[in-house]
């Protein structure tokens, strides 16, 4: 997870809109408690959480298209992050 090399510049490029269909996931957990603890460990980083079928995913950005999500993933430098549909 971040810090990023140029946090202010990257923050200006990030989307964080719950209406977007895609997100850049940085972690996945089997329960809400573990996901919440992960989010709490990074108080200076904007993170969101979504659940789907008992899996809790933590994301750091959203996007309107799949290609935008992959571009954000590359921009953020998260080699282990992946793109996921929000709904």
Taking only the tens place, the pLDDT of each residue in 14-68 is 888 989 999 999 999 999 999 999 999 999 888 999 998 889 999 999 999 999 9
Look at residue 3 in the predicted model and tell me its pLDDT: 42
Look at residue 12 in the predicted model and tell me its pLDDT: 62
Q: What are the structure tokens assigned to 13, written together? A: 């490029």
Look at residue 14 in the predicted model and tell me its pLDDT: 81
Report the distance separating Cα 29 and Cα 56, nearest Å. 5
Report the distance separating Cα 53 and Cα 79, nearest Å. 25
Question: What is the pTM (predicted TM-score) of this model?
Answer: 0.84
Contacts of 32 (CB under 8 A, 6+ apart): 49, 51, 56
């Amino acid at each position: 997870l971040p810090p990023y090399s140029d946090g202010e510049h990257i923050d200006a490029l990030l989307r964080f809109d719950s209406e977007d269909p895609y997100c850049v996931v940085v972690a996945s957990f089997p329960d809400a408690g573990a996901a919440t603890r992960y989010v709490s460990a990074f108080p200076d980083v904007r993170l969101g959480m979504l659940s789907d079928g008992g899996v809790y995913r933590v994301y750091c950005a959203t996007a309107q298209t799949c290609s935008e999500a992959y571009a954000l993933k590359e921009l953020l430098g998260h080699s282990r992050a992946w793109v996921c549909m929000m709904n």
